[in-house]
Each structure stands twice: as C-alpha cells, then as structure tokens.
Amino acid sequence: MNARRVRGAVAVLAALAITTLATACGGTETTGTAASAGGDKLAEVRLGYFPNITHATALVGIEKGFYAKHLGSTKLVPSSFNAGPAAIEAVFAGAIDATYIGPNPAINAWAKSKGKAIKIIAGSASGGVYLVVKPEINGVEDLKGKKIATPQLGNTQDVALRYWLQEKGLKTDTKGGGDVNIIPQENAQTLQTFATGDIDGAWVPEPFASRMVQESKGKILLDERDLWPNKQFVITHLIVRQEFAAEHPETVKQLLEGHVEANAAINADPADAAKTVNAALEKLSGKPLKQEVLDSVFKNITFTNDPIASSLVGSADHAIKIGLLEPVDLNGIYDLKPLNEILAAKGQPAVADK
C-alpha cells in the first residue's frame, strides 16, 4: 500500500504527547543553534536518539565516528531522549535537527504540523518487540482479567497490543478496564513490576523483552514479527526537520552517509556492534547489559535502511480501528531521494515509500 495514496492516522491523544511548537523537552535538549558557517556548512548538527538497542544505528554511528567522518568540519551534537514525545517536542522547538524515533511519534508530528515539520528519510530497525508473560499463561484466552503493560498510552506497542486483543475478541479501554487491563508504564518500571508480580506481562521492545525472560522467567507468548508480512515492521526510523533539510540538504546527505555506514557495520559484524552498543549504554546509564541479554537482543532485531513504509501505514490503520487515532493524510511523509542516491552509489537497491 502506497503511503502517498492512502489515509493514515494520528493519535487523538497527540496533543498530550506533543505540546506547542515553542516547547522544548525538559532536561534533554541541546542548547544553541545549528548556525551556518557559510553555504551549507554548519557549526553543528543536532541528532536525537534513545538509549535503546533498537537505536543501535545511532549508538554505533556515534561511537564509531561514522557521522563525524562524513560531516567533516560540522560537529555532531547528540542528544539522548527517553520517549518519542520529548524528542518530537525538541524537533518542533528547533532544539534538534534530526532524530531516531518510532513510527507513531513520526505520524503524530506530521499530523500536528499539518505535514510541515518532519520527513522520514531512512529506516533503521525492524522487529525486536514481544508480548512476554508469566509462565502459566499459555494463550490469548488466559489473558482475560490479567494486567499487561505497554510503554505509553497510544504509543506503537500500546496500539499493537490493543489491536491484537481486539482481533482476538477481547475488549480494552484507555483507563485500564475491559477484558484485559492495559497498564501504561515506563519500560524500566515494567522490569520491576513484572519481577514483583504486579503485572502479568508486557508488550515491549528489546532489550526489555529479553530481560523479562532471563531475569524474571518470563515466557514469550507472541513475537510481533509474526503479525506482519514477511515478518517485517518498522520499530525505528530517522526523521529530519523539514526546515533544516531545505536549508542544508548536503548536511542531511552527509548524516545519511554516516547512517548507512553504521548499519553496514552492524550487519557486517554484529558481535562487534553489540560490544559497541553495550559500551555506549554503559556510558549513558552507568550499567551495561549482561552478555546473554545482549546476544539475545541482537538476534531479534534487523537493522536496515528500508523504512518498511507499508508497516507505518498498517500501524496507523490499526490505531484507527481501535479508536485511538483519527485520519490524517500521510502523503509526502517520506523523502527517500537522498538515501536512494547514496544506496545507488554503493550499488545497493533503492528503498520505497510504499
């Protein structure tokens, strides 16, 4: 399904997730501006990302110096965020120029700005999301009356869980009622509440899914890849501020060169990439992942330049069907021309916006 020809969706709750165009995210934004140093040369470019394995492209690109290599005299200024809404607030405020982010925040940003704020310019990661439950839960019928966590009301995993349950004939509501009680909470908190028995499971991304299995004897009830054609769906992609891209197209292309090289490095040597990512996570959080968790996580995620556009549209359609989203035209949300020029120069196939 072509994203240029279909109707997508935007969260009714987007106003809660994205404040105003002048509101920067608290505590995580990078101050200053990406002031021009003449022509398309900038003093700096500000890149957002999350301290998650699903953002390994960014972590490897930063740690290995791939972005810096291609940006040349333009300094890379990375900013770490813990949630999509905060990153989008920073984009809207002009506090960052580009960011790695999940699909629903990108849709929300596109709709909130009436298609003027952002463009999706590359894919980054696919897969790595699971429904992990207590060992005694053996099927969807056992979920009735149970408490299942998601990272945030209306976020990508929350929509996926609600839609899946609806397809299975189970009702939910946004207040935690219904046949299955959905409890939105931060992923780090989910690790604790699952260990203490306060929740019965969670629909979460890596590395939290593997940690629930290995640290608290959780069981994988569902791999989200099994719900998508060819077992592929977008979990992370790269977006850029439209204003920034229009003013500095060469800088955007240089950023993409680093992005492509980072994904190539991950796929060429996953073991080395895992070590690099773990070292980066230790710097950010003060605590590395255990080796067995790290090994499991990297087997569960595909790192790709393909944004898997059809799954973005699919996610939006799912959200409409569960009543969390209202229609929005996604025509033009992708700008893959610079990425495809880079891929063509390397003899690699183009990626599509459909």
Q: How far apart are CA 216 and CA 199, in angstroms?
A: 12
Extract the tokens encoding 114: 């009436």
**What ranges do the domains of the chain cover?**
44-126+232-346, 129-230
Cis preceding-peptide flag for 288 (omega within 30 of 0)? no
What is the tens place of the pLDDT at every residue in 223-239?
A: 999 999 999 999 999 99
Q: 42 and 248 in contact (C-beta within 8 Å)? A: yes
For 144-157, give one letter per residue: b (16+ CB within 10 A) or e. Answer: eebbbbbbbbbbbb
Instruction: Quote the pTM value.
Output: 0.83
When pLDDT is cut at 50, 70 and 90, the band that residue 282 belongs to is very high
What proportions of the chain, in percent to the nearest 5, are helix, strand and coil? 45, 20, 35
Average pLDDT, the chain: 88
CATH architecture of residue range(s) 129-230: 3-Layer(aba) Sandwich (3.40)
Each residue's pLDDT tens digit, 4-28: 333 333 333 333 333 333 333 333 3
User: Residues 255-274: pLDDT tens digits?
Assistant: 999 999 999 999 999 999 99
Q: Please tell me the distance from the alpha carbon of residue 244 to that of residue 212, in angstroms, as a whole number.
A: 40
Strand order in the sheet with 129-133: 181-184, 147-150, 201-205, 129-133, 219-223
The CATH number that domain 44-126+232-346 falls under is 3.40.190.10
